[in-house]
Amino acid sequence: AQSVTQLGSHVSVSEGALVLLRCNYSSSVPPYLFWYVQYPNQGLQLLLKYTSAATLVKGINGFEAEFKKSETSFHLTKPSAHMSDAAEYFCAVSGRGSNYKLTFGKGTLLTVNP
Amino acid sequence: EAQVTQNPRYLITVTGKKLTVTCSQNMNHEYMSWYRQDPGLGLRQIYYSMNVEVTDKGDVPEGYKVSRKEKRNFPLILESPSPNQTSLYFCASSTLSSGGHTDTQYFGPGTRLTVL
């Protein structure tokens, strides 16, 4: 079984401030981990993914995430928020041998204040 | 351009009137999937398919049907829609990795369905 918990359904930051979106996962097998972003009235697009190579993963738009096995975490960060980062962010897990199942967290809505 | 297309984008219907939402991808992906997105619940998988004529249930399959007769198409069928199926629906596709876990999924633009 696999699951994802995103702490905080809504995060609000000021422009230029650090963005930290939290994701903890549960998987009985080695996981692939993903962060997707959804801009208003659009589909989801991949920000970054962890596939068992480097534990620090860099994605698009200046985002990065670090896989920490001991903490079962895959938090998403960006040093300096931009207004265009306002969107909903989803963490997802797919475990090795999970029959290609992708399980999403409930999402975190990021608001960026001027 | 590599893409997943869905039609229609918006649909308002009435209880019990059969409908089909189409999904097509042009990336020759083996894996295709349907999700529904509801506020506060994230995305939940309805059905998925690992290849032509191979489909399986996801987490919330009740009230839905799918078929995969061609590799590029994966329609979602609601034979007797009910108001609790009012939702935002996404189709997605990806390649299959060797380890049994899904790789990057490419999403369609979504279909907003309202069942009155």
Looking at chain A, which residue has its C-alpha nearest residue B97?
A100
Peptide bond into B8 cis (omega under 30): yes
CA–CA min distance A26, chain B (Å)? 15
For chain A, 114 residues long, the average pLDDT of each consecutive 10-residue run is 91 97 90 93 91 89 94 96 96 81 92 96
Residue whose pair of structure tokens reads 């083996």 in the numeric block = B30
> pLDDT value at position A25?
94
Residue A33 corresponds to which tokens in the numbers above? 């981990």
> pLDDT value at position A8?
92
> pLDDT value at position A14?
97
How far apart CA A68 and CA A71 sit, in angstroms, is: 5
- What DSSP string describes chain B? ---EEEE-SEEEE-TT--EEEEEEESS--SEEEEEEEETTTEEEEEEEEEETTEEEE-S--TT-EE--SSTTB--EEESS--GGG-EEEEEEEE-B-TTSSB---EE---EEEEE-
Residue B33 bridge partners (DSSP)? B48, B92
> pLDDT value at position A2?
86
B110–A42 CB contact, under 8 Å: yes
A100–B41 CB contact, under 8 Å: no
CB neighbour list of residue A82: distance below 8 Å, 6 or more residues apart: A15, A112
CB B35 within 8 A of CB B99: no
> pLDDT value at position B62?
97
> pLDDT value at position B4?
96
How far apart CA A103 and CA B42 sit, in angstroms, is: 10
**Computed over its alpha carbons, how large is the radius of gyration of chain A?**
14
> pLDDT value at position B96?
83
CB B21 within 8 A of CB B113: yes
Q: Give chain B's residues under pLDDT 50.
A: none
Residue B76 corresponds to which tokens in the numbers above? 């979602």
CA–CA min distance A79, chain B (Å)? 25
Residue B97 corresponds to which tokens in the numbers above? 């990795």
- Which of A48, A91, A96, A102 has the highest number of chain B CBs within 10 A, making it the mutation to test binding with B? A102
DSSP A30: P
Residue B65 corresponds to which tokens in the numbers above? 């049907």
The contact set of A with B (CB < 8 A) is: 9, 31-32, 34, 36, 42-46, 49, 51, 90, 94-107
> pLDDT value at position B55?
94
